[in-house]
A and B are shown apart, each in its own frame.
Chain A
Amino acid sequence: MHRPPPEPGERYRFTVVERWVHRTTSTLMMTAIVTAACLYLPFLAEIVGRRRLLVVIHEWSGILLPAPLLAGIFFRSLRADLTRLNRFGPQDSGWAWRAVRHGTRAAGPAGKFNAGQKLFSAFIAGAVLVMVGTGLIMWFPHLSALTVRTGASFVHDWLALVVGILVIGHIRMALKDPEARHGMRTGRVSRAWAKREHALWTEDEEQGEKHGREQEPSAGR
């Protein structure tokens, strides 16, 4: 992707593709969460009503949740970051535990993504798969036996609670860090922030990436 060099003192963190994948996924996720709350919590259900409409919106926002990421797979920048999220380096072992105990600042240096971000993204990805699967079982109830449907709504309900708490935590972390939000909005972060929050996300890494790409054009994972 061609892009102008960043402002002095800044560096690129996310490409246009990555930001749009994040934007559309978060819109779908919030739609699914808000409609779920209106369907599930009695005091909201009383106020909002319109049950059939809410069900349709919830079903479609839910089933479309994996779509932005699947579309993004066709772009190298996103695949590169998926690889970074997938792999745990030596700096990541114990990082999440240290962050819980002493705060993220005192948990040790991180790469482009810290271990908490890696675990969050992986858990949400798995959870979305499970929510879509169990959601489909409930969407088409005549295709499965009663015990399967009961099991599916059991998983869907409890996992929804976990996902809701995690998403609130994710938003809380973003609210505490304006520069991280700036990075997701514009794609650029200051070098000072990058050094402070992601010390091991080095220029060398990106140089190496470029180099590797020339040698191995199909490197996607």
Chain B
Amino acid sequence: MNKDGRPVGRRVVLGVAALGAAGVAFGARFQNGIDSFLATVDSKDPTGLTGLLPGGGGFQIYNVADSLPHKSDQDYRLTVDGLVDRPATYTLAELRAMPQTTLVKDVQCVTGWRVPDTEFGGVLLSHLLDTAGVRPEGKALRFTCFDGVYSESLTLDEARRPDMMVAHQMNNAPVTDAHGGPVRLYAAPMYFYKSAKWLSGITVTDRVMPGYWEHYGYDVEAWVGKSNGRNDAPTSP
């Protein structure tokens, strides 16, 4: 066989591997520049195709269930139970009739993407807790979802913060199915996996019961910038 000729194949393999290693070493620095460049392009791109490029901005839709769950505004119910004096089940209309709060903050995902200045509107968790009357032995909340799979948790102190809410509005419109509508949790100061979509139940418990991703190694205390080995800028200091 002809073994003459230049070993170009081997050089290409090694070259690609070296480029890859360099990309890993310096990619974090590139990423910011590319992100802001793509954000500029995206704002002028009517097709929305740049949104599909890596770092192209916008929300990634994560769903752990078999299919995209759906409940109509009429079918939707939110149950508050557990260690409370007055368990209750609310319709969407009843939630809308409660005191409403609007928060505009960045959304930070633990996988790295961040969506600036996203508006969420709804009812503060503290209002729901006060209405239900938490018993002294209640220490934490467990959130369940009508996708049948997802769950989350907060301590009672975290839940009473003024930036923890049950949201039914997002950017001045009802929360869509894909974004966890009609009602989702919005835990502003924490990584977005805490903000459980398709929220259907709030149970007051005597201890923290770790949620879905926390069984796969995510931190239970999910403060943005202070958990999961990340140092992002806080979304809600």
Residues of A within 8 A of B (CB): 40-42, 45-47, 49-52, 80, 83-90, 92, 111, 118-119, 121-123, 125-127, 129-130, 133-134, 137, 141-142, 145-155, 157-161, 205, 208-209, 212, 221
Given contacts A47-B68, A127-B16, contact A87 B5 (CB under 8 A): yes
Q: Are B1 and A205 in contact (CB under 8 A)?
A: yes
Please, how many angstroms separate the alpha-carbon atoms of A49 and B24 in the complex?
29
Given contacts A45-B60, A49-B63, contact A153 B112 (CB under 8 A): yes
Please, how many angstroms separate the alpha-carbon atoms of A155 and B25 in the complex?
10
Partner of A142, one of B10, B59, B229: B229
Contacts of A118 in B (CB 8 A): 8-9
Please, how many angstroms separate the alpha-carbon atoms of A147 and B27 in the complex?
8
Question: Does B23 sit at the interface, judged by CB under 8 A?
Answer: yes
Please, how many angstroms separate the alpha-carbon atoms of A129 and B13 in the complex?
9
Partner of A157, one of B5, B55, B62, B230: B55
- Chain B: residues with Cβ within 8 Å of the partner, total of 52
Please, how many angstroms separate the alpha-carbon atoms of A2 and B28 in the complex?
53
New A-B pairs, 12, CB < 8 Å, besides A47-B68, A119-B12: A45-B63, A46-B61, A87-B6, A122-B9, A142-B229, A146-B229, A151-B31, A154-B28, A154-B54, A158-B23, A159-B20, A212-B1
Q: Which residue of B lies closest to A49 (CB)?
A: B63
Question: Does B14 sit at the interface, judged by CB under 8 A?
Answer: yes
Residues of B within 8 A of A (CB): 1-17, 19-21, 23-28, 30-31, 51-55, 58-68, 111-112, 178, 216-217, 229-231
Q: Are B13 and A126 in contact (CB under 8 A)?
A: yes
Contacts of B65 in A (CB 8 A): 49-50
Q: Are B14 and A51 in contact (CB under 8 A)?
A: no
Query: What's the minimum C-beta distance from B107 to chain A, rounded to whole angstroms?
Result: 14
CB contacts between A and B, total, < 8 Å = 162
Q: Are A121 and B1 in contact (CB under 8 A)?
A: no
Q: Which residue of B lies closest to A151 (CB)?
A: B27
Contacts of A45 in B (CB 8 A): 60-63
Contacts of B231 in A (CB 8 A): 146
Contacts of B23 in A (CB 8 A): 130, 151, 154-155, 158-159
Q: Are A46 and B64 in contact (CB under 8 A)?
A: no
Q: Are A122 and B13 in contact (CB under 8 A)?
A: yes
Given contacts A130-B20, A142-B217, A155-B24, contact A161 B53 (CB under 8 A): yes
Partner of B9, one of A47, A85, A142, A209: A85
Q: Are B20 and A141 in contact (CB under 8 A)?
A: no
Contacts of A142 in B (CB 8 A): 217, 229
Partner of B68, one of A41, A49, A122, A148: A49
Contacts of A119 in B (CB 8 A): 8-9, 12
A-B interface, 9 closest residue pairs, ranked by CB to CB distance from nearest = A126-B16, A130-B20, A151-B27, A157-B54, A154-B27, A122-B12, A86-B9, A155-B23, A87-B5
